[in-house]
Amino acid sequence: MTIWCKAKNDIDWVLGTVYKTEGSAYRKAGAHMLINGFGQHFGLLSGGCLESDIVLNSRKVMDSAETICLIYDSNDEDDIAFQFGLGCGGKVYIMLQLVTLDNDLDLNAILTALNNRQCGVYHQKINGRESYFKFTKENIDPTAYVESRPDGDWLVSTVNPDPHLLIVGGGVDVRPVVNICKELGWLITIIDPRIANARKEHFPLADFIFRKPNENFDKHILKNRLDAVVIMSHSLKIDADYLCKIQSYSLKYVALLGPKHRFKEVLNLAKLSENELQHPVASPAGFDIGGQLPESIALSIVAECHSALFG
């Protein structure tokens, strides 16, 4: 959406939306994609099988200014989805809406919400050009659905900001964690009091780096709605200090690197018992996938965190 915002005055844009599926489908209702007049698309509405045809149909929307609804049936031998080799075995319903300066389909409101890490609900009239966004205070069920109203059917989908992960520690093994998370589009904050660690040149993709939990750090956490914490400083004292600090946060996932006996040492140093913890702590951190090197351990940690955040 940031790319659209920067170029919205210079080129035509179309918003593509999956509004219904039947059977198996790569993307579900509520999936979105933006297509511009150069034929570039941002996001996916299938696994890459249908995008070329969606882009072609987007040009028709730009020329006519009329909304188009498409149906791709991978079980119908006469359907283009079947010819493209879409192997999901389901049917996908896609709507293409023109985005203009006079009618931006409320995308500016959505972008503002995401920049402020706010949640909301997006309403789109199926086969129409009416769309609007409403803010909500908390994350809500991401399941999209079609709602029948007197003026027609509307797709109701949720908008939630990308996860915000705090990593305590800035050593070499943190780098692949940051890299994987940024591929997923997550917001990443690193904190490490040791000047040799968490250096910006080693973490160019990290969004924020802090040295200590001062007032600015607390404001940052409050403003950016933290979702998860991974403690991996390799220092018993630092781990214990931050395990104490995060007890005041509302979190969906907490992980501590190291074996089970180390977790007990950290708890003792923090003067906490497992019953006193506000959040269950995954320790050892990550799924057991047999990894040994930093990259595979990072994969296991991010996978476990992703599972906790998205159910």
* 54 close to 96: Cβ distance less than 8 angstroms: yes
The whole-number pLDDT of residue 289 equals 92
End-to-end Cα, the chain, rounded Å: 25
Which residue from 225, 257, 259, 222 is spatially nearest to 243, judged by alpha carbons?
257
**Ordered mean pLDDT values, 10 residues apiece, the chain (311 residues):** 84 96 88 94 87 94 96 67 57 95 95 92 96 86 91 95 96 97 97 94 96 92 95 97 94 96 97 93 94 94 96 84
pLDDT in tens, 218-277: 999 999 999 999 999 999 999 999 999 999 999 999 999 999 999 999 999 999 999 999
Torsion of CA 12, 18, 20, 22, to 10 degrees: 130
The whole-number pLDDT of residue 82 equals 47
Kind of pairing, strands 152-159 and 119-125?
antiparallel
Give 214's contacts (C-beta < 8 A, 6+ positions apart).
Answer: none
pLDDT in tens, 69-78: 999 987 655 5
The whole-number pLDDT of residue 273 equals 93
Length of the chain equals 311
Q: Peptide bond before 284: cis, by omega within 30 degrees of 0?
A: yes
Alpha carbon of residue 291 to chain centroid: 25
Q: What domains, with CATH codes, occur in the chain?
A: 2-118 (no CATH), 164-310 (3.40.50.720)
